[in-house]
Amino acid sequence: MEQNQLTPTHAREDVRALFLVTCFVAAALFLFLWGITRIKTFGLDEEPYVNSARFLVYGTSHWTPDHPPLGKSLIAAGIKFAGDNPLGWRIASAVSGSLTLAAIMLLTYLLLGSIEYTVIAGLLTLFDYFLFVMSRTAMLDAFLVLFLLWGYLFFLAAVATNYPRRTRSVCLMLSGILLGLATACKWNGLFSIGALVVIGCIVYMRRRNFNLRLLLVSFSVLPAAAYSATFICLFRYSGTPFTLSNLFTIQGRMYRFMAALPGNGFIHVPWFVWPFEIAPQRGLMYLVGNYAVMFSGLLALGVCGWRVARRFAVPELTAASATNGAPELTPELAIVGLYLVNLMQWVVIPHKIVCYYYYYPCALLLSLALVLAFHRSERKQLFGIRLSIVPVVAAIAIFLFSYSHMASLEAPWDTVLGYWR
């Protein structure tokens, strides 16, 4: 996108886009819930999270202080709604996954204003194994990524559009609250808060189209308030008064608990291997990124990175896109930056054992990188077929081939399309 700022599209197009997003959300929810109860036992890290959720439902069981309480509270809400069974454990994740798909599609529409590429992003994401598996598993990353992506959506709507100033101010505050809720699922959200503050300050240097003080408040006071509020339920069930002293005490307890966790060496996959992983994680429904999305997405991310570097390296482009030395926030810069924040944070996070499913937010951002790469070369074809259609068709074909394993279908359907690794 060559224009200097993102612009709202016509109302009729907006309505069409919202209708399509709603259809995708409904289809995704059906896909995620279909057969979600086939796996009767816990997989990977489900058991401690469900047991902590039972504590919030019944006041019994055992609360594990390994993460903040919001994600476990959402699992508890699912248990209250659907019962203490596989559906109840996982229904909140299924709803979160379908809403995560909506965030990806709306981000695409915000960045490109194209219904066609919004649909392409939706298909690439819907048929990505990561979204499917994490939406059918009672683990916290489904909720973390939900709040992260909606926070990114509102942030970009606030700092990089021509929406009315009041609308952008509300979006900025909502983004801060959502990032606070992401942190209340897992502390990884703190890195995104810091990254958006830096990006916001850079954009402010160039455009000054929002209140810098509001930015700082939105990503300090509001996330802290949202984060703190999620502990009310936990304190009530544990019989502990909700005070600042007790709030700080439990943060220290969580940190000490997580720092002492030995982890499971059998599922350890170093963070720098995640983008190139091809072996399915058998303990988590054969989780592995859809090869068509993961590897073409990496190439697309490289194209986006090259475009960002070119804007700084070519004097004419740099002069045209900078004011007071501040770079323009292009869609490519936003996606590359967010991908790197979610991946490179594992360089400093003091986890001795890390799991492949931590790559979840990065994997979804690759779908956005793909549509951004194709948007600039939409007329290019391969053997008479538009390039943007190729990864979509490949992703659907690979998903269908692997579906029987990921969905835990029973014989003879588990091998109807052949054996998979």
Per-residue pLDDT tens digits for 91-108:
999 999 999 999 999 999
303 inside domain: yes
Under a CB-based contact definition with an 8 Å cutoff, are residues 242 and 231 in contact? yes
181 inside domain: yes
- Count of domains observed in the chain: 1
User: Residues 228-254: what's their mean pLDDT?
Assistant: 90
pLDDT for residue 318 is more than 80: no
Confidence of residue 381 (pLDDT cuts 50, 70, 90): low
User: Strand ranges (DSSP E) for 71-155?
Assistant: none
160 inside domain: yes
Output Rg (C-alpha) for the chain, integer angstroms. Answer: 21
pLDDT for residue 262 is more than 70: yes
255 inside domain: no
What is the per-residue pLDDT for 380? 63
275 inside domain: no
Whole-model pTM? Answer: 0.91
What is the per-residue pLDDT for 412? 54
Note down the domain range covering 372: 11-237+283-415
268 inside domain: no
Alpha-carbon separation of residue 50 from 75, 361, 393 (angstroms): 7, 22, 37
Q: Is 43 strand, coil or helix?
A: coil
67 inside domain: yes
Q: CB 303: neighbour CB atoms within 10 A?
A: 19
| Dist CA 346 CA 80 (whole Å) | 35
| Dist CA 206 CA 198 (whole Å) | 13
pLDDT for residue 164 is more than 70: yes
pLDDT for residue 7 is more than 70: no
What is the per-residue pLDDT for 3? 40
403 inside domain: yes
The lowest-confidence range among 104-113, 324-333, 334-343 is 324-333
Structure-token pair, residue 223:
């996330």
Q: Which residues, at least 6 apart from 243, have a Cβ–Cβ distance to it below 8 Å?
A: none
The lowest-confidence range among 53-57, 113-117, 134-138, 400-404 is 400-404
Return the percentage of the chain with pLDDT > 90, whole number.
57
